[in-house]
Amino acid sequence: MRLANTSVAVSDERAHTAQSLSGDAYATFIHDLYVEFLIMDSHHSYSQVKGVSTGTTILAVKFNGGVIIGSDSRASMGESYVSSKTINKLIQVHDRIFCCIAGSLADAQAVTKMAKFQLSFHSIQMESPPLVKAAASIMRELCYNNKEELQAGFITAGWDRKKGPQIYVVSLGGMLLSQPYTIGGSGSTYIYGYVDAKFKPDMSLEEATQFSTNALALAMGRDNVSGGVVHLVVITEAEVKHVVVPGNKLPKFHDE
Amino acid sequence: MHFTVVFSGLSGVCDRLRQARVRTPAAGSFSNVVSVKMATVLQFPASVSTFNNYNDLYPDWTQREVSTGTTIMAVEFEGGVVIGADSRTTTGAYIANRVTDKLTPIHERIFCCRSGSAADTQAIADAVTYQLGFHSIELDEAPLVQTAASLFREMCYRYREELMAGIIVAGWDPRRGGQVYTVPVGGMMTRQPVSVGGSGSSYIYGYVDSNYRAGMSKEECLKFTAEALTLAMERDGSSGGVVRLAVISEQGVERQVILGNQLPKFSTV
C-alpha cells in the first residue's frame, strides 16, 4: 500500500501556527492533517483548499423574443487577489443555450463540461435541438447528486422551439426554478432592490440591454469581488450575439 | 500564502517526524499506516462544524438576543432631511415587535435611526440624549447635528468590542441645514447625502445608487425613501412591518406611517 504524492494546501492561519510548532506539536499537526486527508476520501469535503472562486455578479432577463444573459469578468482568489480581469463566465452548452456560473470556478467548469457532453449526446439521440429545460435538468442532476462536494450555482438561459425564451436557475443544493429574471453571485445582493423595481415583463431588446448593463454596473460598483467588463449574450431564435461593454463605457451613477 | 505538505508514501511523513525527533518505524513498514488509519478514521477531525446548535425542544428565540435586523435610511434635501425605517424587531425567528419605532429623537430637530442590537442602541441613544441635552443647555442654543453624531461616534468607537450598533444620525440645525451622518459598526463617522443601514440595506445599494439625485424636493425624497425601504423589506427576512418616515426641517418634525397595504407595489416574480 503506497500513498501517491499529494499536496494539501492549508489556509493561512493554519500555516502560521504550523510554522511556530516543533517536536511533538509538529508531529501532531502533521497527523491531524493526514487524518483530514484520509477523511476527505469519504463523503464529506472538509475542503481547506481555497481555490479560484468567481466572487461574481451574474444575471439573466427575459425580454420580448429572447433572453439576455450577462456577467462581470473578475475571478478572485481569496478576498484580495484578482486572478483574472477578463474571464468569460458565459459558457455555451448548445447552439441557443448558455450557462453562467457562480461559486467555485473549478466546480463550475467541471459541471458545465459534463453537461455539455450529456446535452450534445441527448440532442443527437432526439435528433432535434435540446430544450432549455433539458439543459437545466442535467445541471440540476449533477448539482443535486454531488451536493456535498460541489460549491457552484448556475443560471441556464436560452431559446427553444417549444417554449421560446426561458431562464432556469439551479442553486447550490440542486433546486431548479424557472423565473422571468434572476440574479446570482456575491454582487447580486446589492441589486435586488434595483431589479425588483426596474423589471417589466415583455421589455424590448434595448430596454433589456440597458436594464442588464445598469444592474451589473451597480453591482460591480459595490461588490469588490465583481468587476472588469460587462459580458452580455443576447439569445433569440435568429442568432446569438455577444456584447462586451468595457469599463469606460459603463453607465455612471450619482457619486462617480 | 500557501504551506504545502507532501505526503509521499510513508517516507515523507517519516522525514518530517524524524526532523521532529520522534521515533519512527523503519521505512518500508506499513503497520504504522494501517494502525493510524484504523484508529483515526473513526475520529472526527478538529474542523468539523456543528450545523444546528439547538434541538427542537427549545424554540430558538429563547437563545437569541433581541436584534433590530433592519433597514434604515436617511436622505438630505434642501431645507432638511427625510429619515425612514422599517418596524420589525426579531429574536431569532420570532418577531418580538412588529410595530417598532426605530426613529429615536435625540433632540428637538435631531433624530437617530437604530440598527443592530436593540439593547445596545437603546442604551447608546439614551446616553447621547442626556449628554446632548446637557451640552445644549450649557451652550444656550440648539446643538449641531455634527455634535450629536460625534457623541455617538465617541461611544461606538470606545466600546466597539462590546457593542453591536449601526446608527444613522440625521437632523437640521441653523448653521448647516439638513445633514446626515452615518456611524456604522466599528465607530467610524462620515457625512453622506444619502445613507442606508441595517441588514436589509445590502439589497438596495443598487437601487439607491441609481435613483438618488442631488437636489430632490421633499416629496421626491419621501417617495424615494418609501420605495427603497419597501424593496428592502421584500427581500430581507429581518425587515418588515410598516414604513415609518419623518421629515426634519426648520419648521420641526413631521412623522408619518405607511401601512402594509399602502406600500408601493413593484412587479412580482
C-alpha cell at A239: 442568432
Residue of A nearest to B234 (CA): A193
Q: Are B1 and A15 in contact (CB under 8 A)?
A: yes
Element (H, E) at A75: strand A75-77
- By C-alpha distance, the chain A residue nearest B204 is A193
Mean pLDDT score, B155-173: 96
CB contact under 8 A, B204 and A215: no
Per-residue pLDDT of chain A in tens (256 residues, 90 and over written 9): 334 444 555 556 666 666 777 777 777 777 666 665 554 444 333 344 445 555 789 999 999 999 999 999 988 777 778 877 888 889 999 999 999 988 888 888 889 999 999 999 999 999 999 999 999 999 999 999 988 888 888 999 999 999 999 999 998 889 999 999 999 988 999 999 999 999 999 999 999 999 999 999 999 999 988 889 999 999 999 999 999 999 888 988 877 7
* CB atoms A23 and B20 under 8 Å: yes
Cell for A10? Answer: 492549508
- Does residue A236 carry a catalytic annotation? no
Q: How confident is the model at residue B259 (pLDDT cuts 50, 70, 90)?
A: very high
> Is B42 at the interface with chain A, CB within 8 A?
no
Cβ distance A39 to B45 less than 8 Å, yes or no, reads yes
pLDDT, average across residues B129-147: 97
Q: Where, residue-wise, is CATH 3.60.20.10 in chain A?
A: 53-249
Q: Can you list the domains of chain B with their CATH numbers? A: 80-258 (3.60.20.10)
Report which secondary-structure segment, H or E, holds B122. helix B118-139
Q: pLDDT at position A76, please?
A: 79
In this complex, how many residue pairs, one in chain A and one in chain B, have their CB atoms less than 8 Å apart?
139
Mean pLDDT across chain B: 82
Task: Enumerate the β-bridge partners of residue B190.
Answer: B182
Q: Does B17 touch chain A (CB under 8 A)?
A: yes
Residue B65: band (very low, low, confident or very high) from pLDDT cuts 50, 70, 90? low
pLDDT digits (tens, 9 = 90+) for B196-244: 999 999 999 999 999 999 999 999 999 999 999 999 999 999 999 999 9
- Closest Cα of chain A to B96: distance in Å? 26
Give the range among B27-41, B67-81, B151-165, B210-224 with minimum mean pLDDT: B27-41
Give the Cβ contact number of residue A112 at 10 Å: 23
Q: What is residue A112's DSSP assignment?
A: H
Q: Grid coordinates standing for A63?
A: 425580454
Best residue of B209, B223, B263 to probe chain A, by most A CBs closer than 10 Å: B209
Total Cβ atoms within 10 A of residue B250: 12
- Backbone phi and psi for residue B155, each to the nearest 5 degrees, phi listed first: -70, -45
A93 touching B (Cβ < 8 Å): no
Active-site residue (options: A54, A56, A156, A209): A56
**Cα B240 off chain centre by:** 15
Nearest C-alpha of chain B: how many angstroms from A53? 16
Q: Does A37 touch chain B (CB under 8 A)?
A: yes
Cell numbers found for residue B126: 439614551
A-chain residue closest to B40, CA distance: A35
**Which of A30, A35, A254 comes nearest B212 by C-beta?**
A254
The size of chain A, in residues, is 256
Contact A156, A97 (CB under 8 A): yes
Kindly report the backbone phi and psi dihedral angles of residue A139, in degrees, each rounded to the nearest multiple of 5, phi listed first: -60, -40
- The reported pLDDT for the residue numbered B33 is 38
Closest partner CB to B13 (pick from A4, A34, A36): A34
Q: Is the pLDDT higher at A77 or at B99? A: B99
Query: Chain A within 8 Å of B158 (Cβ-Cβ)?
Result: no
Q: Domain spanning A53-249 has what CATH number?
A: 3.60.20.10
Q: Which of B24, B19, B113 is nearest to B75 (CA)?
A: B113
**Element housing A166 (H / E):** strand A164-170
Degrees to nearest 5, angle at CA B164 with B163 and B167: 110
CB A71, CB A216: distance < 8 Å: yes
Residues of B in contact with A221 (CB under 8 A): 209
| Predicted local confidence at residue B48, as pLDDT | 37
Taking a contact as any Cβ pair under 8 Å apart, which residues of chain A between 155 and 214 contact chain B?
179-181, 189-197, 199-201, 214
- Paired strand residues for A157: A98, A167
> Which residues of B are known catalytic residues?
70
- To 10 degrees, the CA torsion angle through B59, B61, B64, B69? 140
Pairwise CB contact (< 8 Å): B20 & A22: yes
Question: Which stretches does DSSP call E strand in chain B?
Answer: 3-7, 66-68, 72-77, 80-85, 89-91, 94-97, 103-107, 110-117, 165-173, 177-183, 190-191, 194-197, 243-249, 252-258
C-alpha cell recorded at residue B168? 444613522
| pLDDT confidence bin for B63, thresholds 50/70/90 | low
**Using N-to-C axis directions, what is the helix angle for A24-39 and A12-19, rounded to 10°?**
150
A43-47, B83-87, B174-178, B180-184 — which is least confidently predicted?
A43-47
Residue found under cell 447625502: B193
Give the side-chain half-sphere CA count within 13 A for B112.
31
Largest CA distance in chain A: 69
- CA atoms of B217 and B223, how far apart (whole Å): 10
Using CA atoms, how far residue A119 sits from A93, A135, B187, B213, in Å, is 8, 6, 54, 48
Interchain proximity A19–B3, CB inside 8 Å? yes
Question: Residue B40 corresponds to which amino acid?
Answer: T
Residue B269 confidence (pLDDT) above 60? no
Between chains, do B48 and A46 touch, taking CB under 8 Å as contact?
Answer: yes
- Chain A residues in contact with B31 by the CB 8 A cut-off are none
User: Do residue B20 and residue A10 have CB atoms under 8 angstroms apart?
Assistant: no
Residues of A in contact with B206 (CB under 8 A): 190-195, 215, 218-219, 222
Q: Check residue A211 and report its DSSP letter.
A: H
Alpha helices (runs of H) in A20-71, residue ranges in sequence order: 24-39
pLDDT at A2: 38
pTM: 0.74
